[in-house]
A and B are shown apart, each in its own frame.
Chain A
Amino acid sequence: MAVSATLVAATVIGPFTGAFASAKGDVVVGVLSTYTGANAGYGQEGMAGCIPAMLVINAAGGVMGHHVTCQEFNSNSDPADAVPETHRMLQLSNLLLTLGSGGTTAPAIVRLANAAKLTVFSETGQSLFNVNKYSYFWRDVPVDASQGYAMAIATVMLGYTHVAAVFGQGVSSQGSRPSFVKGMKLLGHPVVDTVVLPTSAPSYTTQIAGIQGHSADAVVGEVDPASSATFFSELKQVYGKLPPLVGDQAYDEGPWLKSVGGAVGTTLTKRLTLVLPVATSAGPGFRQWKTTLVASSDPTGKTYVTDSYSAADFDAIVMTALAADEAHSLVSAKYNRLIRTVTNGVKGAVVVHTYAQGVAALAKHKKIRYVGASGPITFNKYHNWEPGYVLQKLTKNGLKQGRLVPTSVLNKLLTGHRAKA
């Protein structure tokens, strides 16, 4: 579906990140994320999902006729700061949903948003939410722990059997490391070296020399963007060229690619294999999101065109808007449970890939299933998504899909059984 003239007009007229004058009758998406400090890029990541969503929804007539606008709230990655910010956000009476809520701030924010009966999409990967009682909580990003297992399977599929596990001290690395190491062991190829990098150290050559000493044939793991820049540029220097690398969703995020790509150069994309939730980069939903983002006047938009978290945020807003449309209500308490319906789909549902298609189908009183930028999502009873995974490579034109990670093997690892990849 080509970008319509209305959409283009909206992108030209609409202001960029941050200041959206909320006209009377607008509904607001509260992007409650980090806009300052070491994680400051993640606020913009959320905006890279919100702005395209706003544009496509408004181009199709809005939600129940109301325009959507994005408003940011800064948690500064600190739960203590997140609490007053959440209350400040919740004062708005026209909130459609809130997204962001990463890492350590998620438990504090989700709790409050849920009590206030507001739909909250969190992008934390903590296992804390694997079993939960928050009916307003939704997660359309995978759990860090399962990403660890998926990376292990992918590593073995790629033929690397003596790998070095390199992880940072950040919140999501903390989640994926134990399962990666355990997964490699269950697959019969225990890691030869486990390295935890202290955050933002000036140099990591000691650790790298250790990896070299263990004759690792690949480096797999998850490290934050700042430390990654130092680590991978020194890795390249010590080894002469970058060894094969495997990473998870964290390594296709805007800030990470900018940081490491800038430090290491174009060789990064050749050596790095990503393990991402399936269908991240294929399909009309993804294309619409990416095209809208690139065409929008968001100056940082291009940094996030491979960023599956931004794509997931985009989907979160669209599916919530569609749920609101189906419920004929702007009250979260009325449309929240329909999010599952429009995403998991029901028997006989029409598959739609864009908001406009969804609205059109709903107008004809059809049931819909929204398959958007993240591909088909199925929420389980705890409103979490357990995606399949696929190996992907970065190319000049974006992500390129490779082999699927076998779900049967993944399930075996998740339950602690040995398996062969």
Chain B
Amino acid sequence: MIHVLAVSLGSAVVVAAVLALSTVGFTLRYAVSGVFDLTYGALMGVAMVIAFILTEAGVSLWVAVVVVGLAVAVISVMVEGLVVRPMSARGATSWVMMIVTFAVGLAIEAAVLGFWGPSFNSFTLVGGTHRLGSVEITTDQLWTLLIAALCTLSVGAVLRFTQWGRATRATATNPRLAENCGVRVRTIRTVTWFASGALCGMGGVLVALQVGSFTYSSWELFFPLIIAAAVVGGVGRPGGAVAGAFLIGLVTALASAVISSAYEDVIALGVLVAVLLVRPRGLFVRTAT
């Protein structure tokens, strides 16, 4: 059993890291706009396809990751400006926004299908493995961990230590009050969705890299994990998002080893439901807020 866990530890950490990166992006949108953005998953699908086109054209994978991050960042800003903001202005509640973003996500996914088709594609891996005890990890996985760590730590640092981050946190806590205090909420939102989009794009490519092959709809089965991690960690809190991602990732790996592995995804969702029933605010939220 220990052997099983040791062998799977490397992958479990990588998956958790990618999930964490993706979840932070997702949760940032909720934080500043109060929206559970269901276009997020479809945008990951867009990221995968753009990255593939770039790598096929000879661009290095890691450069493509950055470029795709920027591309999705721009698209996200458009989603925020063209869809989320006008609907919020009309008084749409958060759950109505969920349905609207769901519809927009459907359209985005369909656009990818129409443009790209349903075929499977894979990235060419760099290869090379490294061992740490009985834990094995590939070069690509190390790069993945590096990118995920860098991005999430940067987000955390910006939020905590910069003026900008303070303004963002203020917007997340109480937009009206923040506006009255001189924070330009609209700008904060645009920039946050931009950053979130970058994380979304990068996360999308890293997921595709991890699972080996992807189609235009591969993101569909990863997205519930993001929602679960976000909610478990306390929706709207990036730090909680990371913790939630690791919790979901590691609990499912453990449960998979102990109980039958066929129920892995049931367990992941079960954790979500259980947490919400027991601690509705999420596991890692200080009750003072």
A residues at B contact (CB < 8 Å): 35-38, 40-41, 43-44, 169, 195-210, 212-213, 225-226, 229-230, 232-234, 237-238, 255, 258-260, 262-264, 300, 303
Contacts and interface: CB of A to CB of B under 8 A. Distances in A.
Contacts of B113: 36, 40
A153 to B, nearest CB: 26
B220 A41 contact: no
B120 A206 contact: no
Interface in B222-263: 222, 225, 253, 256-257, 260-263
A204 B119 CA distance: 23
A207 B8 CA distance: 9
A262 B221 contact: no
B93 interface: no
18 contacts: A40-B118, A41-B215, A200-B218, A200-B221, A202-B19, A202-B225, A203-B11, A203-B12, A203-B15, A205-B10, A207-B261, A210-B257, A213-B3, A225-B120, A226-B215, A237-B129, A258-B120, A263-B122
B136 A225 contact: no
B212 interface: yes
B261 A300 contact: no
B88 interface: no
Interface string B190-221: 00000000000000000100111111111011
B256 to A, nearest CB: 4
Interface of B is mostly: helix
Contacts of A255: 119-120
Contacts of A212: 7
A280 to B, nearest CB: 22
Interface of A is mostly: helix
A229 B213 contact: yes
Contacts of B119: 41, 44, 255, 258, 300, 303
A230 B262 contact: no
Contacts of B222: 200, 202
A195 B7 CA distance: 17
A37 B109 CA distance: 10
A200 B120 CA distance: 13
B280 interface: no
A206 B221 contact: no
Given A226-B218, A229-B211, A238-B136, A209 B8 contact: yes
A209 B3 contact: yes
Nearest to A41: B118
A262 B7 contact: no
Contacts of A197: 261-262
- 4 nearest A-B pairs in the assembled complex, by CB-CB distance: A262-B122, A40-B118, A263-B212, A229-B212
B264 A198 contact: yes
Interface centre among A196, A213, A262 (most CB of B within 10 A): A262
Contacts of A195: 261
Given A203-B15, A303-B119, A209 B4 contact: yes
A265 to B, nearest CB: 9
Interface centre among B11, B12, B211, B225 (most CB of A within 10 A): B211
B262 A259 contact: no
B16 to A, nearest CB: 9
Contacts of B210: 202-203, 230
B15 to A, nearest CB: 5
A198 B262 contact: yes
Contacts of A196: 260-262
Interface in B1-38: 3-8, 10-12, 14-15, 18-19
Nearest to B265: A198
Nearest to A207: B261
Contacts of B117: 300
B120 A41 contact: yes
A206 B213 contact: no
Nearest to A201: B264
Contacts of A210: 4, 257, 261
B154 interface: no
A206 to B, nearest CB: 4
Contacts of A203: 8, 11-12, 14-15, 210, 253
Contacts of B174: none
Nearest to B220: A38
B27 to A, nearest CB: 19
B173 interface: no
B15 A202 contact: yes
